[in-house]
Amino acid sequence: MASLKSWLKAARLRTLPLSLSGIIIGAFLAASQNVFEFSIFLLSVLTTVGFQVISNFANDYGDGVKGTDNEERIGPIRALQSGEITPEQMLNAIKLTGIITMIIAIILVIVAFGKEHVVYILLFIFLGLASIVAAIKYTVGDKAYGYSGYGDVFVFLFFGVLSVCGSYFLYAKELDYTVLFPSFSIGLLSVGVLNLNNMRDRISDEKAGKRTLVVKIGNEFAKYYHYYLIVASFLFAFLYTAICYQSPFQYLFLLAYIPIGKHFFTVYRNRNPKDLDPELKKLALSTCLFALLFGIGLIL
């Protein structure tokens, strides 16, 4: 039987700050408009963690059974790859985590909307199921979209737009178009983390038949793509602040772009894909820092 250490490693806890960035901004946006509720925030955190763990388990399972995670891969050794967890155990874990997460998600939407918003409840239950399906289908199955180069689109939508706008809607029960701008920033930075991962694994992915966007466009264009993601994330955050300006504290998020800027030039100078591995953690944590500073600036 797999050890607790093996399961924690498979859960990839280092990915959680990135996945929580969207709901952090959603919560701060709600707080700035005096509609924040701690119970909704807590349940949102638990639901988001559940979705992320499902995604990580499914990614481990999908790449493991297809042989994509092999000795040529640069990143950390995965659970199936090492043999610490069997495919059957991982599949059962995905099912169990999915059930638990959906139960929490249902409780969340009932607490958020009550009996008077049945349509909203049904909509968010559908979105919850869609999130689980998207997490699993990234690498699992014959038509896994991560193997066809569509992972970037789904990460942008689910980590950015749905995470920020969806969490904000749970509090406010309405949606202003300006909320889209910070959701785009989070989505673009999240895609940046995925792009780094795919640049690091480009050679092994191509050999394994995993046609990520980086494999399709090549390493040099992937770098330019990365620059655009980072610059665009800044522009959308700046645009929101310019439109909704109330205090100079709203520009606190600029501090997050100091480490992000350093990361930008590290990618620019990079010649060895292996050296990109530590940059994943740096960009993910910088994205979480951005979310915190952006949010704190809204309430000061």
User: What pLDDT does 13 receive?
Assistant: 84
Give the span between the Cα atoms of 94 and 273, in whole angstroms. 30
Handedness of CA 86, 90, 91, 93 (dihedral sign): positive
Q: Is 11 domain-assigned?
A: no
Tell me, yes or no, whether 9 lies in a domain.
Answer: no
Distance in Å from the first CA to the final CA of the chain: 50
Domain span at residue 32 reads 16-299
- Our count of domains for the chain comes to 1
Residue 215 reports pLDDT greater than 70: yes
Question: Is 3 a domain residue?
Answer: no
- Distance, CA of 188 to CA of 205 (rounded, Å): 22
In this prediction, residue 146 has a pLDDT band, given cuts at 50, 70 and 90, of: confident
Confirm whether 6 is domain-assigned.
Answer: no
User: Hey, what's the torsion of the CAs at 159, 165, 168, 170, to 10 degrees?
Assistant: -90
Mean pLDDT across 185-192: 97
Within a domain: 270? yes
pLDDT of 235 strictly over 90: yes
Confidence of residue 168 (pLDDT cuts 50, 70, 90): very high
Q: pTM for this structure? A: 0.94
Q: Is 5 among the domain residues?
A: no
- Tokens representing 33 are 């408009």
Q: Quick one: pLDDT at residue 1?
A: 63
Using CA of residue 271, residue 277, residue 278, residue 284, what is the dihedral sign? positive
